[in-house]
């Protein structure tokens, strides 16, 4: 059974690369060794939860420009 992590009291941080008027806004938070990712324009719609190692890999690939975005 999957454990549900409560991010309701987590400290969400907006990405420094989030766009202003263009609507490209992402926030991240950490809870119980996991990372939550959500849309800062609509935070009540939920979030994606991934392990810290997977998040670190995602960030590294994004910085290296190896993602097909």
- The H-assigned helical ranges of the chain are 52-64
Question: How does DSSP classify residue 42?
Answer: S
Cβ of 49: how many Cβ atoms within 10 Å?
18
Per-residue confidence (pLDDT) for residue 50, from 0 to 100: 92
Structure confidence by residue, pLDDT tens digits, 10-55: 899 987 766 666 667 889 999 888 999 998 888 888 888 999 999 9
* pTM, full prediction: 0.76
Strand partners of residue 35 = 30, 50
């Amino acid at each position: 059974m999957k454990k549900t992590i409560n991010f309701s009291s987590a400290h969400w941080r907006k990405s420094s690369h989030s766009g202003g008027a263009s609507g490209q806004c992402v926030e991240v938070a950490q809870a119980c060794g996991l990372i939550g990712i959500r849309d800062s324009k609509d935070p009540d719609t939920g979030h994606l939860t991934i392990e810290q190692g997977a998040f670190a890999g995602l960030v590294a690939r994004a910085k290296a420009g190896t993602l097909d975005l």
